[in-house]
């Protein structure tokens, strides 16, 4: 018992350290609030010079109105003005609207130039409609223009976005043939594409290529792209190395570099490092902006520190940085995670009252919040509210809601939603199938689950390892040990390599079925297959052995687990303490389960 108390004490001290670290991060934010007040005036100064610049608008309607009034003007404004409107629309990501206006230009007698065509190619690219984009290249030639490096880069980006790497390479070759040399942006585009595919190595290789190529040098954007990608893959250490590298090469980091790094260190819980980076950026007169602050708000919220997050929002307002939809959505999610749905709703109402964009994202957070609390009726109410607002629920909306219905055992309602989702034209993702399959398995509808699985197989859907994990767990749950084993052993023939989770599910199932030696065999197989067991695996198999009275084997594994610096979780510890109290276990075991 004493050990348990000590465990708890160690855990609590660990938590306190985290919270202290977070407070440290937050208090240095309070410090920023009082020390830097110059930024708002800087922003205002940069905005005054733009009299002849393209008119700015923040919504499609304004753009359409402006465009139409330009059509009425006599004489007509130059093509440059029209292109500027299209550019703005593209920047606001209203690609379809830009394309629509473009199609109105011809009939109105406005002749697009090479710039116009490039903007529209970019729009088609973002909409994954490269067919149209490439046909505009034909039109560009026909009109007597020459594609330049921007045109080529735009097209290459679009092709890569559609995973048409071979054609992108072909175009690159053609570009070189025509004497167009890739520049920083071209490299940046290629590097970004590598990062999006999760290939950081290739991205870094391209960075090195860029250095030896000599025509252009790596700049802050390419470094930012790779640093951010590394951070997202929690390779924060590598990211920080690249960061040092760019500084040693006199490439000045900017607010984006720091935001990525701060996000990276926050996701691995290094609050002190986050604080250090924040201090460092401010000392270089690089000030956190709305995205940086949103990262901090989100981090605090995910740690359950919503009150502190609220005060960060106060700080940003004081500094003249308006929290946006993302900031507020993070806050809402923070309240949801704590089950404080009233407060989440309050933020939501505030957003609506302030007239800020309340989007599908915000609704999804609220729906997910209610679903996780199994308050499915309220989730449904929010869901209904979406269509009243004219918002179209997306795949994530449906997945959350279906999962919610499954979790309260209303599998039929989940299936109805699945049909509705298809009817609404929303494509089910692999996660959608995972939700439904899991719901069926957990609700003891194994036959239907298997039917769905067969359907997925026959429809040649991309079955990922997660689906197999769910089904194997479901088969064990339904007592179909043989089928679970068959499925598992047949996986490699299907080209799947089991992951840690699947091995763990297998061991749990085998132990539950009393197949101890097979579970042990699979544990050893993990090492050979280069998929080493994690803490969860050890805890699972140790509990399995203990339940099966395989005490000596369990003890051996506890020793092995501790040697690998994993520790017993609460459940395993409880079981061990229970067995000790019944004198079914050697007390010599105790020091092993004590956390360091």
Partner DNA sequence: CTAGGGTTAG
Query: 298 or 303, CB closer to DNA?
Result: 298
Give yes or no for residue 122 binding DNA (CB under 7 A). Answer: yes
Q: Please state the closest distance from residue 185 (CB atom) to DNA, in A.
A: 3
Give yes or no for residue 62 binding DNA (CB under 7 A). Answer: no
d(CA 273, CA 546): 42
Closest CA to 277 of 319, 227, 320: 227
DSSP state of 177: H
DSSP state of 594: S
Give yes or no for residue 225 binding DNA (CB under 7 A). Answer: yes
Query: 148 or 480, CB closer to DNA?
Result: 148
Give yes or no for residue 188 binding DNA (CB under 7 A). Answer: yes
Interface pick for DNA out of 3, 30, 221, 466 (rule CB under 7 A): 221
Give yes or no for residue 157 binding DNA (CB under 7 A). Answer: yes
For 195-259, the DSSP string reads HHTT-HHHHHHHHHHHHHH-SS---HHHHHHHHHHHHHTT-HHHHHHHHHHHHHTT----HHHHH
Q: Which pair of tokens denotes residue 79?
A: 């093509």
Query: 259 or 567, CB closer to DNA?
Result: 259
Interface pick for DNA out of 99, 119, 316, 475 (rule CB under 7 A): 119
Candidate ranges 377-385, 424-432, 454-462, 508-516; the one touching DNA (CB under 7 A): 424-432
Q: Please state the closest distance from residue 270 (CB atom) to DNA, in A.
A: 16
- Cα-based torsion angle of the residue sequence 120, 121, 123, 127 in order, rounded to the nearest 10 degrees: 140
Interface pick for DNA out of 37, 44, 91, 564 (rule CB under 7 A): 91
Q: Which pair of tokens denotes residue 466?
A: 């997660």
Give yes or no for residue 539 binding DNA (CB under 7 A). Answer: no
Interface pick for DNA out of 7, 26, 133, 151 (rule CB under 7 A): 151
Q: Please state the closest distance from residue 16 (CB atom) to DNA, in A.
A: 24
Give yes or no for residue 373 binding DNA (CB under 7 A). Answer: no
- Size of residue set near DNA by CB under 7 A: 77
Contacts of 1 (CB under 8 A, 6+ apart): 577
Give yes or no for residue 278 binding DNA (CB under 7 A). Answer: no
d(CA 365, CA 376): 14
Give yes or no for residue 260 binding DNA (CB under 7 A). Answer: yes
d(CA 63, CA 93): 13
- Restricted to residues 10-49, the positions that interact with DNA (CB under 7 A) are none
For 20-86, the DSSP string reads HHHHHHHHHHHHHHHH---HHHHHHHHHTT-TTSPPP-SSHHHHHHHHHHHHH-SSPPPHHHHHHHH
Interface pick for DNA out of 66, 326, 421, 526 (rule CB under 7 A): 326
Give yes or no for residue 445 binding DNA (CB under 7 A). Answer: no
Interface pick for DNA out of 42, 43, 80, 317 (rule CB under 7 A): 80
For 86-142, the DSSP string reads HHHHHHTT-HHHHHHHHHHHGGGTPPP-HHHHHHHHHHHHHTT-HHHHHHHHHHHHH
Give yes or no for residue 243 binding DNA (CB under 7 A). Answer: no
d(CA 335, CA 368): 12
- Restricted to residues 281-310, the positions that interact with DNA (CB under 7 A) are 288-292, 294-295, 298, 302
Give yes or no for residue 442 binding DNA (CB under 7 A). Answer: no
d(CA 591, CA 291): 47
Give yes or no for residue 184 binding DNA (CB under 7 A). Answer: yes
Candidate ranges 162-170, 249-257, 405-413, 507-515; the one touching DNA (CB under 7 A): 249-257
Interface pick for DNA out of 133, 257, 445, 572 (rule CB under 7 A): 257
Give yes or no for residue 200 binding DNA (CB under 7 A). Answer: no
Q: Please state the closest distance from residue 578 (CB atom) to DNA, in A.
A: 33
Contacts of 211 (CB under 8 A, 6+ apart): 217, 218
Give yes or no for residue 356 binding DNA (CB under 7 A). Answer: no
């Amino acid at each position: 018992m004493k050990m348990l108390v000590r465990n708890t004490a160690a855990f609590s001290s660990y938590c306190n350290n985290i919270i202290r670290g977070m407070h440290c991060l937050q208090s240095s934010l309070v410090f920023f609030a009082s020390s830097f007040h110059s930024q708002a005036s800087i922003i205002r100064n940069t905005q005054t010079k733009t009299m002849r610049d393209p008119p700015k608008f923040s919504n499609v309607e304004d753009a359409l109105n402006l465009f139409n009034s330009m059509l009425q003007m006599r004489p007509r404004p130059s093509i440059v003005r029209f292109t500027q409107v299209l550019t703005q629309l593209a920047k606001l990501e209203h690609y379809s609207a830009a394309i629509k206006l473009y199609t109105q230009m011809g009939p109105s007698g406005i002749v697009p130039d090479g710039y116009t065509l490039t903007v529209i190619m970019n729009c088609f690219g973002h909409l994954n409609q490269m067919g149209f984009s490439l046909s505009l290249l034909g039109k560009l030639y026909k009109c007597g223009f020459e594609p330049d490096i921007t045109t080529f880069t735009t097209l290459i980006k679009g092709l890569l976005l559609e995973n048409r790497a071979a054609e992108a390479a072909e175009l690159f070759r053609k570009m070189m043939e025509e004497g167009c040399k890739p520049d920083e942006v071209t490299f940046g585009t290629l590097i970004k594409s590598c990062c999006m595919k999760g290939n950081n190595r290739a991205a870094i290789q391209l960075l090195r290529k860029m250095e030896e190529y000599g025509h252009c040098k790596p700049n802050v954007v390419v470094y930012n792209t790779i640093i951010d990608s590394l951070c997202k893959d929690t390779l924060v250490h590598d990211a920080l190395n690249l960061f040092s590298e760019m500084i040693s090469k006199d490439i000045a980091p900017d607010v984006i570099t720091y935001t990525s790094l701060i996000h990276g260190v926050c996701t691995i819980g290094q609050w002190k490092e986050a604080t250090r980076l924040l201090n460092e950026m401010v000392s270089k007169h690089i000030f956190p902006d709305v995205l940086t602050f949103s990262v901090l708000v989100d981090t605090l919220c995910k740690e359950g520190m919503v009150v502190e997050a609220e005060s960060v929002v106060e700080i940003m307002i004081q500094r003249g940085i308006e929290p946006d939809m993302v900031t507020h959505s993070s806050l809402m999610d923070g309240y949801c995670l704590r089950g404080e749905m009233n407060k989440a709703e309050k933020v939501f109402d505030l957003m609506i009252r302030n007239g800020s964009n309340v989007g599908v994202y915000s609704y999804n957070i609220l729906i997910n919040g209610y679903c996780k609390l199994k308050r499915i009726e309220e989730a449904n109410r929010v869901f209904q509210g979406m269509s009243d607002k004219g918002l179209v629920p997306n795949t994530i909306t449906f997945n959350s809601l279906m999962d919610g219905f499954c979790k309260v055992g209303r599998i039929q309602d989940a299936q109805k939603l699945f049909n509705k989702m298809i009817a609404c034209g929303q494509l089910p993702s692999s996660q959608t199938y995972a939700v439904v399959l899991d719901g069926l398995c957990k609700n003891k509808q194994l036959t239907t689950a298997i039917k769905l699985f067969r359907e997925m197989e026959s429809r040649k859907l991309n079955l990922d390892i997660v689906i197999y994990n769910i089904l194997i767990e479901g088969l064990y749950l339904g007592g179909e040990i043989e089928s679970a084993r068959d499925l598992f052993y047949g996986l490699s023939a299907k080209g799947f390599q089991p992951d840690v989770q699947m091995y763990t599910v297998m061991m749990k199932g085998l132990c539950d079925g009393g197949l101890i030696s097979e579970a042990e065999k699979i544990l050893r197989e993990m090492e050979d297959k280069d998929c080493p067991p994690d803490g969860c695996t050890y805890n699972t198999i140790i509990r399995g052995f203990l339940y099966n009275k395989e005490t000596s084997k369990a003890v051996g594994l506890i020793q092995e687990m501790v040697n690998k610096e994993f520790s017993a979780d609460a459940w395993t510890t409880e079981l061990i303490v229970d067995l000790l109290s019944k004198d079914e276990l050697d007390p010599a075991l105790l020091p092993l389960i004590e956390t360091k």
